[in-house]
């Protein structure tokens, strides 16, 4: 069966397309784009996308799906459901599960669970070091054969520069990007929020911006030394963004991502001790937030990633300094991007698609994704830029509820998500599918 | 819920930062009226008869816990002490479950000390009882600041233009934070000094009025009317904020020669417990300028005032106006305290 996404506004930066087009899908693949006026063949399913933006499926390259080991927080199935509800057709699962994804068996398990769930594409990211403890390289070759798309010791960044160098050299042999959560633990130790005015007021130990920046600079220097592809995760400080900007000016293979909470909230949000404002890297001060916006707008930032980090309500109900780091983000990312970035003129819709689809696919070398080129995977995110909606966490598809964005109102949101040609999420008010009966018109 | 100054309602005492100057003055005035109860032979008034006060202490404390217990008992409240070591809690019940269980027994007030900043705020979300912060991590210790203020007011009469130097581990000190907020709200200027590792530059902007930072004690105490010494928290030493106790004592301990730089009638305070010979020499601690034991005495009066206003018949209180004596409903509620004692008037004491 063929599916025609009709009368939508297609944005595909991979081909420089930004125009009203119909998009034909067949057997899980893209057939091609056509003009509104081109005849529609009989027997084609039609999704009416009038007034909607049709983009290559969004890719969240940084999520925590908690399976195996912490299924009470999230499963691959519930995480994938949250992903497609948030407009993501593909997510990349970080390896800090239990056991850690540091070998081919865990990698294969994650992929099989994702196939069973059958919603979003899930690509695992393998550990850099065994058990992510920073001492011995993990078997990257085996994991690559099993299906990982990158390596990272996210959350437990490789402390030793010497080990990081070896990891980058070794990963280069498999053409795997190395993703690093930049945090010098000797500087950030014991910190539960950004170090600055608010950490002093609240009497909590801070993580200075320098803890992130020292590590970002180190990693950029190592990228220069090794020639490995380096991707810096969820950057939150001005200095870290500047480090990437300088590396790019030098022509180094360095990319980076930022997370929605870091362009939305500052550390002032911590003042009521709400543990849903606790994540790592932490909410920073206004100047750092401005630097994130500048990086998004000037092209320094390559990708938007949520760092979706589900935690059970019981864990987040602990005292602030005892509660775990992290918030869920899959279902609010596009809303926060539309409201706070596109809506405020920080970035264009084209740039949004670049950040959410084109670039993540390029960084992770996901063949046939992030594009509408012929025969690409039929992964599509459909957005109504004018839809007003608000996020109700009680209706979240995730198993966890740890978000500071409950009740937030947005203009612009996801109305449908299509994975491999199948509509896996659809907003009830949009895109009822009909079947064409005549060669020139669709039934509405 | 209690009307405290300017029509602000105060259900809990979580910190000084969110109080107005009027609320602080009202708390101090109320404490003044309770001071004399402790000087009588029968140290008890019926103000909180039938009320239940739970002292929930997750950190070791002798002074503060005893002070709250005595305060509650002198008001005729039923006081229950619960001391929990944080380690045993981490194995079992969460703070919120503890709080819910206590709430189920319908206390009127829960006094909490906890090593986590924000723990009292956490409790306030699930408890109907009035929550009193008796020290939360490095955040606030409001009753300490109030008792310090009561002590200062007793000797200096006014806070306007008063110069206060706070010396020591500012970074980890809830006492310093609460005092800085309170003193600034009442018109004093604050200077802090201590090792560079324990006095972050951002402290200068902690409050709108600004805090003066000095590197050397000698510079901080010049012309100071009040010198507050903070305790060296030995338990923090795992992080090596300074090289040795010996070096601390030499460079950041308060010695007699420092006092000659301060105002001639300068007073010295310390929240306790003291490390003699480290942050303060015994000559100073036991000398004529030291008000360290007065602070402890005033602690009981301040805590009586806090418990009375939050857990008691405080809602009957009228808001006292500046310069007025306490209102008549005060004397009714305090069981006729004033009939037997001096009627305190702010600013006219000597």
Q: Is residue A355 part of a domain?
A: yes
B237 preceded by cis ω (within 30°)?
no
Residue A197 included in any domain: yes
pLDDT of amino acid B88: 53
| Cβ contacts of A319 on chain B, cutoff 8 Å | 95, 114, 116, 118-119, 122
Task: Decide: residue A394, CB within 10 A, 0-12 exposed, 13-18 middle, 19+ buried.
Answer: exposed
pLDDT of the residue at B343: 39
Contacts of A205 in chain B (CB under 8 A): 138
* Residue listed under structure tokens 């025969």: A375
A15 domain-assigned: no
* One-character DSSP codes across B23-87: HHHHHHHHHHHHHGGGGSSS----TTTT-EEEEEESS--SHHHHHHHHHHHHTT-EEEEEE--HH
- What's the confidence (pLDDT) of residue B240? 82
Contact (CB, 8 A) for B167 and B220: yes
Q: What letter would DSSP give residue B235?
A: G
Distance CA A434, CA A442 (A): 8
In this model, does residue A323 exceed pLDDT 60? yes
Of the candidates B231, B193, B197, B187, the residue with the CA atom closest to the CA atom of residue B213: B193
Min distance B328 CA to chain A CA atoms (Å): 37
Place of tokens 């596109």: A342
Residue A431 maps to a domain:
no
Tally of CB atoms within 10 A around A41: 11
What are the structural domains of chain B?
2-141+298-326 (3.40.50.1370), 142-294 (3.40.50.1370)
Instruction: Give the model confidence (pLDDT) of A222-248 as tens digits.
Output: 999 999 999 999 999 999 999 999 999
> Which residue range is the domain that position A218 belongs to?
57-369
| CB nearest B206 (choices: A201, A273, A317) | A201
Residues forming beta bridges with residue A396, ordered by sequence position: none
Nearest to A55, CA basis, from A396, A332, A334, A244: A334
Give the residue numbers in A contacting B (CB under 8 Å), as ranges: 196-197, 200-205, 272-273, 314, 317-322
pLDDT, tens digit only, all 350 positions of chain B: 455 444 446 899 999 999 999 999 999 999 999 999 999 999 999 999 999 999 999 998 889 999 999 999 999 999 999 988 755 555 678 899 989 999 999 999 999 999 999 999 999 999 999 999 999 999 999 999 999 999 999 999 999 999 999 999 999 999 999 999 999 999 999 999 999 999 999 999 999 999 999 999 999 999 999 999 999 987 666 678 999 999 999 999 999 999 999 999 999 999 999 999 999 999 999 999 999 999 999 999 999 999 999 987 644 333 344 444 444 444 444 443 433 333 333 333 33
Count Cα atoms within 13 angstroms, Cβ side, for B230: 31
CA distance B178 to chain A (A): 10
Chain segment A166-182, per-residue pLDDT in tens: 999 999 999 999 999 99
Residue A43 Cα, gap to closest chain B Cα (Å)? 59
Residue B139 makes CB contacts below 8 A (sequence gap 6+) with A202, A203, A204, B15, B117, B118, B133, B174, B177
Residue of A nearest to B178 (CA): A201
Residue B175 Cα to chain centre, angstroms: 7
Determine the straight-line distance between the first and last CA of chain A, rounded to whole angstroms: 19
What are B132's strand-pairing partners?
B13, B111
Point out which residues pair with B131 in neighbouring strands.
B110
Lowest mean pLDDT among A1-5, A146-150, B339-343: B339-343
User: What's the CA gap between B232 and B273, in Å, rounded?
Assistant: 9
Residue A335 lies in a domain: yes
Mapped onto helix, strand or coil, the DSSP state of residue A422 is: strand
Residue B10 to residue B18: CA distance in whole angstroms: 10
Residue of B nearest to A274 (CA): B122
pLDDT tens for A272-317 read 999 999 999 999 999 999 999 999 999 999 999 999 999 999 999 9
Q: How far apart are CA A217 and CA A210, in angstroms?
A: 10
**SS3 (DSSP) at A331:** coil
Give the mean model confidence (pLDDT) for residues A199-226: 97
d(Cα B55, Cα B151) in Å, to the nearest integer?
A: 24
Nearest to B202 among A196, A273, A322 (CB): A196
- Mutation site for B-interface testing, chosen from A201, A205, A208, A278 by largest number of B Cβ within 10 Å: A201
Given this model, what pLDDT does residue B7 score? 46
Please list the residues that pair with A230 across neighbouring strands: A178, A254
What is the rounded CA–CA span in Å between residue A155 and residue A164? 15
Question: Which ipTM value was assigned to this complex?
Answer: 0.89
CB contact under 8 A, B174 and A203: yes
What is the distance of C-alpha B280 from the center of its chain?
A: 20
* Count of domains observed in chain A: 1
Q: Residue A374: how many CB atoms within 10 A of its CB?
A: 12
Q: Please give the mean pLDDT across all residues of chain A.
A: 96
Instruction: Tell if the CB–CB gap between A201 and B177 is shorter than 8 Å.
Output: yes
What pairs with residue B280 in β-bridges?
B254, B276
The answer to whether the Cβ–Cβ distance between A200 and B137 falls below 8 Å is no
Give the nearest chain B residue to A321 (CA atoms). Answer: B116
pLDDT for res A434? 85
DSSP assignment letter at B341: S
3-state helix, strand, coil in chain A (%, to 5): 35, 25, 45
- How many helices, marked H, and strands, marked E, lie in chain B? 14, 11
Q: In this structure, what DSSP letter does residue A440 have? A: S
Give me B301's structure tokens.
Answer: 């009066």
**Burial class, B1, CB count within 10 angstroms (exposed 0-12 / middle 13-18 / buried 19+):** exposed
Alpha carbon B122 to chain centroid, angstroms: 20
Q: Which of A185, A202, A203 to mutate to test the interface with B (most CBs of B within 10 A)?
A: A203
Residues of A whose CB is below 8 A from B17: 201
Question: Could you tell me which residues of chain B have a Cβ less than 8 Å from any Cβ in chain A?
Answer: 17, 90, 94-96, 114, 116-119, 121-122, 136-140, 171, 174, 177, 200, 202-203, 205-206
A117-143 residue pLDDT tens: 999 999 999 999 999 999 999 999 999
Cβ-nearest to A272 among B95, B114, B121: B121
Residues of A in contact with B203 (CB under 8 A): 200
For residue A267, give the 3-state DSSP assignment. helix
pLDDT score recorded for residue A26: 97
Q: Which residues contact A191 (CB under 8 A, 6 or more apart)?
A: A199, A205, A206, A207, A208, A211, A282
Given a contact cutoff of 8 angstroms between Cβ atoms, the answer to whether B271 and B231 are in contact is: yes
Domain contains A36: no
CB pair distance less than 8 Å for B139 and A202: yes
Would residue A343 count as lying in a domain? Answer: yes
**B63-74 and B142-156 helices, crossing angle to 10°:** 80
CATH code where residue A84 lies: 3.20.20.140
The rounded distance, in Å, linking the Cα atoms of A412 and A87 is: 12
Distances, alpha carbon A335 to alpha carbons A86, A125, A349, A384, A410, in Å: 9, 26, 13, 10, 6
Is A349 a domain residue?
A: yes
CA distance A274 to A320: 7
CB contact under 8 A, A204 and B118: yes
Q: How far apart are CA A76 and CA A64, in angstroms?
A: 9
Calpha distance B130→B124 (Å, rounded):
8
Catalytic status, residue A307: yes
Residue of B87, B116, B119 best to disrupt the A interface, most CBs of A under 10 A: B116
């Amino acid at each position: 069966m063929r599916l025609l996404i009709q009368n939508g506004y297609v944005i595909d930066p991979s081909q420089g397309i930004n125009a009203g087009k119909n998009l034909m899908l067949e057997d899980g693949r893209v057939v091609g784009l056509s003009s509104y006026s081109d005849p529609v063949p009989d027997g084609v399913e039609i999704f009416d996308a009038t007034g909607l933006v049709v983009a290559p499926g969004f890719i969240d390259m940084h999520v925590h799906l908690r399976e195996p080991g912490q299924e009470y927080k999230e499963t691959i199935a519930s995480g994938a459901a949250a992903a497609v509800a948030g407009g993501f057709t593909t997510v990349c699962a970080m390896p800090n599960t239990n056991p850690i994804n540091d070998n081919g068996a865990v990698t294969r398990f994650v992929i099989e669970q994702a196939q069973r769930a059958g919603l979003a594409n899930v690509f695992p990211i393998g550990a850099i070091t065994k058990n992510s403890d920073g001492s011995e390289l993990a078997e990257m070759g085996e994991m690559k054969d099993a299906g990982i798309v990158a390596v990272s010791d996210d959350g437990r960044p490789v402390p030793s520069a010497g080990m990081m160098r070896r990891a980058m050299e070794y990963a280069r042999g498999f053409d795997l990007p190395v993703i690093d959560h930049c945090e010098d633990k000797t500087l950030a130790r014991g910190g539960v929020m950004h170090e600055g005015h608010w950490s002093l007021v609240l009497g909590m130990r801070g993580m200075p911006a320098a803890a992130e920046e020292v590590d970002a600079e180190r990693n950029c220097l190592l990228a220069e030394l090794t020639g490995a592809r380096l991707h810096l995760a969820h950057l939150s400080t001005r200095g870290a963004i500047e480090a990437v900007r300088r590396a790019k000016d030098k022509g180094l293979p360095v990319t980076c991502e930022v997370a929605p909470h870091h362009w939305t909230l500052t550390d002032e949000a911590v003042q009521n001790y709400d543990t849903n404002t606790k994540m790592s890297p932490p909410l920073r001060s206004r100047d750092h937030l401005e630097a994130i916006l500048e990086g998004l707008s000037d092209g320094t930032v390559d990708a938007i990633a949520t760092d979706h980090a589900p935690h059970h309500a019981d864990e987040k109900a602990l005292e602030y300094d005892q509660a775990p780091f992290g918030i869920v983000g899959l279902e609010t990312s596009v809303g926060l991007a539309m409201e706070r970035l596109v809506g405020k003129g920080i970035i264009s819709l084209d740039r949004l698609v670049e950040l959410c689809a084109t670039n993540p696919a390029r960084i992770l070398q996901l063949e046939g994704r992030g594009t509408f080129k012929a025969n690409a995977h039929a992964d599509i995110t459909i957005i109504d830029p004018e839809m007003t909606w608000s996020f109700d966490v009680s209706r979240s598809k995730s198993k966890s509820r740890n978000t500071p964005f409950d009740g937030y109102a947005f203009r612009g949101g996801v109305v449908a998500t299509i994975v491999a040609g199948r509509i896996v999420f659809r907003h009830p008010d949009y895109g009822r599918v009909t079947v064409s009966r005549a060669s020139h018109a669709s039934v509405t | 819920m209690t009307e405290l100054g300017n029509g602000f309602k105060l259900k809990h005492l979580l910190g000084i930062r969110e109080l107005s100057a009027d609320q602080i003055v009202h708390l101090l005035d109320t404490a003044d009226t309770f001071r004399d109860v402790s000087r009588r032979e029968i140290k008890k008034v019926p103000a909180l008869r039938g009320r239940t006060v739970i002292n929930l202490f997750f950190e070791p404390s002798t002074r503060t816990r005893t002070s709250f217990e005595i305060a509650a008992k002198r008001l005729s409240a039923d006081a229950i002490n619960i001391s929990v070591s944080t380690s045993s809690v981490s194995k079992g019940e969460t703070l919120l479950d503890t709080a819910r269980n206590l709430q189920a027994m319908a206390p009127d007030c829960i006094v909490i000390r906890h090593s986590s900043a924000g723990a009292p705020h956490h409790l306030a979300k699930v408890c109907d009882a009035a929550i009193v912060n008796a020290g939360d991590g490095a955040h606030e210790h409001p009753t300490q600041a109030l008792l310090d203020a009561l002590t200062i007011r007793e000797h200096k009469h006014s806070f306007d233009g008063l110069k206060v130097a706070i010396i020591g581990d500012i970074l980890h000190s809830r006492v310093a934070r609460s005092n800085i907020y309170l003193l600034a709200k009442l018109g004093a200027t604050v200077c802090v000094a201590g090792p560079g590792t324990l006095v972050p530059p951002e402290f200068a902007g902690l409050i709108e009025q600004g805090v003066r930072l000095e590197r050397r004690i000698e510079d901080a105490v010049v012309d100071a009317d009040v010198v507050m010494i903070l305790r060296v928290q030995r338990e923090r030493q795992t992080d090596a904020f300074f090289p040795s106790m010996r070096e601390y004592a030499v460079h950041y301990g308060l010695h007699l020669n420092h006092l000659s730089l301060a105002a001639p009638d300068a007073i010295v305070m310390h929240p306790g417990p003291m490390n003699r010979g480290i942050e303060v020499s015994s000559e100073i601690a036991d000398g004529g300028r030291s008000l360290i034991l007065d602070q402890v005495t005033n602690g009981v009066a301040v805590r009586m005032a806090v418990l009375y206003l939050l857990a008691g018949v405080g809602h009957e209180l009228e808001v006292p106006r500046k310069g007025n004596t306490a209102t008549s409903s005060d004397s009714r509620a305090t069981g006729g305290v004033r009939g037997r004692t001096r009627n305190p008037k702010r600013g006219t004491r000597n």
